[in-house]
Amino acid sequence: MMEASLTTVLFLACCFVPAFGDDSPFVTTSQGRIVGTTLQFRPEGRPELHGAVDAYLGIPYAEPPVGPLRLRPPVAKSWSGELQATKPGNPCPQPKMNWGKLTQISSLVEDCLVLDVFVPQQVPSGAAVLVFIHGGGYFMGQGTFKEFSPATTAAIGDVILVTMNYRLGALGFLSTGDDVIPGNFGLLDQQLALKWIRDNIQAFGGDPERVAIFGESAGSASVNHQMLSPGSAGLFRGAIMESGNVHSPWATIETEKARKIAFALGKLLGCERDTSEELLECLQKVEDIDYIIKSQQEGLAKEFGDAILLVPVVDGNFLPSPPAELYAKSAINDAVSIIGSNADEGNLWFTMLFPDISDEAPFINSTTYEAFGPIFESMISTEHIVTDAVKLMYTDPTCIDGPGCNYVEAISQMIGDFWFACPADKTARAYTQAGRKVYRYFMTHDPTTKISGPSWLKANHEEELPFVFGLPLVGLPSDDYPTTEDEVRMSIQTIKYWSNLAKTGNPNLSSLDAELTDEEIKTEWPLFTVEGLEYKDLTPDMLNGRGIKARECRFWNEFVPQLIKTAEDAKKCKESGSRWTQDGSSESETCTKDKCPEVPEK
């Protein structure tokens, strides 16, 4: 409880001032009365933006997932009477891992399935609703950070904003690949929270028919998963994906591997068992949550060589089929989407590789680049011809293998395209071909102050969040946050775009009968089309462009899969003495080993 109280103090710091007195705000839901607290929004030097936001914090939407409810789908919370919702709830169990200027509060409390609701006092009746799904690699994070006050977005956007906590790590995403521990519990938590919003948001003045969900990183991929889940149909009409979706290589895992991970974790926790049923029974009795967290972060990473292993799977329920199959069938929930990423997100890889990252950019020479080869192969392909093609695509042809050649930018752009930009391109095309409206963005602005670390990281992963949550207007509660007037304007416009999607289904319009000014028409955000590849460049000028990484994304989404298949087929041919055709059949009578295509060896 001490941590929660400290969070409240820091959360209310800066330009939000709590209003004390006997006139605390309250709403009456079908379950009972919810009492909140009022925050006075007073950004310095901007009296035209002053207002008040009522905050309802730590509202439980599901029963504590403990005992027999651990590693099971969430159960809606039943309560009655009066709920004091004036303090944040517990973050879900996670390790303590700071990310730049963001502070993760470690937690070992499973009673964490709560949400926060922020309601501007001047918001109109039947207000639009934005729902935030946090990121953190599916193993850390919380709905409301003390550095990012959702009340700012609510006040500037004139919308109700809701954040949520969902189960993380093994407790949220462990899967045995069957009906015993099917996995995706964190996604089901999100879905249940969305159902709670549908059933209760009118009590706060919101319109359940005007809900848009938005997320960043793993939260963005979660939004994408909600778009593909039949159980989420009708729960929202807008979906904003910031840097992550189901095609990101870290966002899903094969069922067979997930099962191996589940039994490996069981062994680490003293639950070495033969069947899924026996494993579940043992894991539900493990009392040391800290041991679970350490085992999943350290033990599994050591055994499998990856820190992000506990992620969504195709479970046949929440996600009925592989995403590619759902895309092919246009089995996509009906919502208007904003899909984007940032220009320098590959720098995230350096912050992960070097936790104590320097204020100066690293120098990666050719020898170090080659030493990273096994890492790249594990991420992309073990076929050397593929990693050679990637190197050819991204390295500077005028500076190859020389002592003064720095491969930092090449690695950054390669990782950023592979992890974020090109999966976003694939999803945007699939949505459009399924008849869904899509708006695309690419943030190229280099923020004056980075939330993720040193200045050389530029438009790194997560750097759009300060603009979405209005940080240039309010700063940080404990650190200086130098910014510019242009960035204040950029933040206000970004919030309006996001809020307008919830209000009208069009980021350009705040109401259906609104008309754009001549100035707005010049930079109106155009719909994405496969022919035009239109997008909005997130900068203070908010200009439009065409073709986000178009050449690179054809390379990743079309050429690389073909190259991998060709290399694999060539090996099969060598091994069997047969020619392998495009459909996987063999023509042994027309092929001998000496006629198989050659694949260069390293």
Tens of pLDDT, residue by residue over 512-522, are 887 888 777 87
pLDDT at res. 258: 97
Tens of pLDDT, residue by residue over 229-276, are 999 999 999 999 999 999 999 999 999 999 999 999 999 999 999 999
Distance in angstroms (rounded) separating the CA atoms of residues 311 and 175: 9
pLDDT at res. 20: 46
* Of residues 31, 318, 307, 313, the one with CA closest to residue 190: 318
Amino acid at 251: A
Amino acid at 531: E
Distance in angstroms (rounded) separating the CA atoms of residues 291 and 293: 5
Distance in angstroms (rounded) separating the CA atoms of residues 271 and 258: 16
Distance in angstroms (rounded) separating the CA atoms of residues 361 and 460: 13
What integer is the mean pLDDT of 201-219?
A: 98
Distance in angstroms (rounded) separating the CA atoms of residues 516 and 510: 10
What integer is the mean pLDDT of 64-74?
A: 98
Residues 6+ apart with CB under 8 A from 287: none
Q: Where are the alpha helices (DSSP H) in 218-363?
A: 218-228, 255-268, 276-283, 289-294, 300-304, 323-328, 347-353
**CA distances for 166 relative to 101, 131, 207, 473, angstroms:** 22, 13, 23, 29
pLDDT > 80? residue 401: no
Q: Where are the alpha helices (DSSP H) in 115-168?
A: 150-157
**101-110, 151-160, 364-373, 435-444: which range is least confident on average?**
101-110
Tens of pLDDT, residue by residue over 220-241, are 999 999 999 999 999 999 999 9
| Secondary structure class of 343 (helix, strand, coil) | coil
Which amino acids are annotated catalytic? 217, 345, 461
